[in-house]
Amino acid sequence: MFNVNRQMLTRGALAAAVAIPATLFAGFALAQVEGQPTPGGLGLPNMVTPVGLGTQQFYNMVLMPIISFIALFVLGLLVYVSYRFNEQKNPIPSKLTHNTPLEIVWTLIPVLILLFISVPSLRLLAEQVEVPEASVTIKVTGNQWYWSYKYPEDQGGGFGFDQMLKPESELQPGDLRLLSVDNEAVVPVNEVIAVHITSNDVIHAFGVPSFGVRMDAIPGRLNQTWFKIEKEGVYYGQCFFICGKDHAYMPIVIRAVSREKYNEWLAEAKQKFASADSRVRVAAESH
């Protein structure tokens, strides 16, 4: 009887040990929507660009295992020496103060680990920094506290618009607080998009986590980055450099659509944003 109970208890505990994390992870997986942060998420978002996927692979397959191993190794050593060499167990301390081979080993092994990390790291870096031939170029300008976008004339654009946070009172079902905006920036899927980034006032930073892209918007400089979205969808980003009181209130929304839909949007947007500054137009309308 007693034995059975113990067995059941063990089995119950085991089941709980497996089930609780499994449910948690399943919950996370269910809640995960591409392009937006996952409630209670533990890792990187699902990436949708080659650079993003490269970052994900580099972090999940190279960095994360290595640093976890080192942390556990050091923790293990600390626990072991604390247990093995406490003064009850080992009343007479040794006089050991040098061991040249050991010192060489713990200098060389970290060097090898770092060399191993640097290979994929530098490969990914070159991919991020060298912008390939782009079919669409957009110019993004940071302002206190919103983003402006310009689509160049020779690529079917010739208009610009501001992207402002949707206030909480105007949120529709499906909108995200602090992330949804009035005008989404639309780009075609599966094409290389070059982004030119600058600022009108203070420093901002343009960042979209599921693209693996983060680039500062600095007045007087034109920075360049790129992404190629491999999946249609709506992708959210935020300002990543402190820019004053409404730093947390200038999100970024990029919608990736098929080439046909993109062309349709271009035509519509050309009408809608005909005036150089959409805010001026909206303000004029409301009078």
Partner 1 sequence: MASSTMAGAHDHPRGLRRFLFSTNHKDIGTLYIILGSVGGVIGFLLSLGMRLELAYPGVQIFPGLAEALQGADPSMALDAGKNLYNVFITVHGVLMIFFMAMPILIGGFGNWFVPIMIGAPDMAFPRLNNISFWLLFSSLVLAVISMFVEGAPGMKGFGGGWTFYPPLSSNTGSPGPAMDFVILALHLAGASSILGAINFITTIFNMRAPGMTLHKMPLFVWSILVTAFLLLLVLPVLAGCVTMLLTDRNFGTMFYDPAGGGDPLLFQHLLWFFGHPEVYIVILPGFGIISQIVSTFSKKPVFGYLGMAYAMVSIGVLGSIVWAHHMYTVGLSLNAQRYFTLATMVIAVPTGIKIFSWIATMWGGSISFRAPMVWAIGFIFVFTMGGITGVVLANASADKQFHEGYYVVAHFHYTLSLGAVFALYAGFYYWFPKMTGYMYSETLAKANFWLLFIGVNIVFFPQHFLGLGGMPRRYIDYPDAYALWNLVSSSGMIFVTLSLIVWFYAIIEAFMKKRLAGANPWGVGATTLEWTLSSPPPFHQFQVLPRITGTAR
Cα 38 from Cα 8, distance rounded (Å)? 36
DSSP letter string, 19-48 = HHHHHHHHHHHHH--TTSPPTT--SPPPP-
Q: Could you tell me the smallest distance in angstroms from the CB atom of residue 131 to partner 1? A: 11
In a 13 Å sphere around the CA of 2, the CA atoms on its Cβ side amount to 0
Q: Please, is 227 exposed, middle or buried when counting C-beta atoms within 10 Å of its C-beta (0-12, 13-18, 19+)?
A: buried
Q: Could you tell me the smallest distance in angstroms from the CB atom of residue 248 to partner 1? A: 4
Q: Could you tell me the smallest distance in angstroms from the CB atom of residue 174 to partner 1? A: 13
Minimum CB distance to partner 1 smaller for 10 or for 60: 60
Cα 206 from Cα 195, distance rounded (Å)? 10
Q: Could you tell me the smallest distance in angstroms from the CB atom of residue 88 to partner 1? A: 9
Q: Could you tell me the smallest distance in angstroms from the CB atom of residue 203 to partner 1? A: 6
Cα 82 from Cα 215, distance rounded (Å)? 46
254 contacts: CB under 8 Å, gap ≥ 6: 184, 185, 186, 187, 208, 211, 229, 234, 235, 237
Q: Could you tell me the smallest distance in angstroms from the CB atom of residue 237 to partner 1? A: 8
Q: Could you tell me the smallest distance in angstroms from the CB atom of residue 48 to partner 1? A: 13
Minimum CB distance to partner 1 smaller for 40 or for 154: 40
- Indicate the residue type of 230: E
Q: Could you tell me the smallest distance in angstroms from the CB atom of residue 190 to partner 1? A: 22
Minimum CB distance to partner 1 smaller for 194 or for 218: 218
- Indicate the residue type of 264: E
Minimum CB distance to partner 1 smaller for 12 or for 41: 41
Cα 187 from Cα 246, distance rounded (Å)? 27
DSSP letter string, 232-281 = -EEEEEEE-S--STTGGG--EEEEEE-HHHHHHHHHHHHHHT-SS-HHHH
Cα 221 from Cα 269, distance rounded (Å)? 27
- Any idea of the CA torsion for 238, 241, 247, 249, to the nearest 10 degrees? -10
Minimum CB distance to partner 1 smaller for 195 or for 269: 195
